[in-house]
């Protein structure tokens, strides 16, 4: 009985912490419960690239990015101004299809996508620290043609 209670509590905590990590007060603001079609439409309307965090719930480096990197204030300021940000579980819903379209080979993979043609402008495979991700994002933003 105690084991079941522990597992149920752990499951609730992990669900809550994953949600909390994607809704940081100072860092990157991710679109939530929005379809890929709506993300593309929004990015086109705002003339921004899409930043997509392709993750899974079991991925340790994905969780580290969500907990340590995405909440960074400087990163949040740049990303929120220049991109439509979305975090998608590649094993759920539209993520399954998107993982095939963007040929996701490992987790996390971070994509900067042009919404006008769906092509990847820049990508990052694996965990990266905030300063390196910011530099990559600046290079991607410089390539923006939307």
**What tokens were used for 99?**
């993982």
Supply the DSSP symbol for 29. Answer: P
Domain ranges in the chain are 2-142
Fold topology of 2-142: Glutaredoxin (3.40.30)
Torsion, Cα 25 34 89 24, to 10 degrees, reads: 0
CA distances (Å), origin 36, targets 43, 130, 137, 145? 11, 25, 21, 20
pLDDT of residue 25: 72
pLDDT band at 145 (very low <50, low <70, confident <90, very high): low
pLDDT band at 13 (very low <50, low <70, confident <90, very high): very low
In this predicted structure, the answer to whether residue 135 has a pLDDT above a threshold of 80 is: yes
Torsion, Cα 143 90 86 121, to 10 degrees, reads: 0
In this predicted structure, the answer to whether residue 21 has a pLDDT above a threshold of 90 is: no
Q: What are phi and psi of 19, to 5 degrees?
A: -65, -45
In whole angstroms, give the CA distance from residue 7 to residue 21. Answer: 21
With contact defined as beta carbons under 8 Å apart, do 138 and 78 qualify?
yes
The residue count of the chain comes to 146
pLDDT band at 26 (very low <50, low <70, confident <90, very high): confident
Is the pTM higher than 0.75? The answer reads yes
In whole angstroms, give the CA distance from residue 67 to residue 135. Answer: 19
In this predicted structure, the answer to whether residue 120 has a pLDDT above a threshold of 60 is: yes
């Amino acid at each position: 009985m105690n084991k079941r209670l522990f597992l149920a509590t752990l499951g609730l905590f992990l669900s809550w912490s994953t949600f909390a990590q994607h809704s940081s007060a100072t860092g990157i603001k991710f679109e939530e419960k929005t379809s890929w079609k709506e993300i593309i439409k929004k990015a086109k309307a705002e003339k921004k690239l899409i930043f997509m965090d392709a993750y899974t719930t079991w991925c340790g480096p994905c969780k580290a990015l969500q907990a340590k990197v995405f909440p960074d204030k400087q990163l949040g300021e740049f990303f929120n101004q220049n991109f439509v940000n979305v975090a998608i579980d590649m094993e759920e819903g539209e993520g399954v299809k998107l993982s095939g379209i963007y040929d996701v080979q490992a987790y996390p993979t971070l994509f900067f996508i042009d919404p006008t043609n769906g092509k990847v402008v820049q990508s990052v495979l694996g965990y990266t620290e905030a300063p390196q991700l910011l530099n990559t994002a600046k290079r991607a933003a410089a390539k923006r043609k939307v």
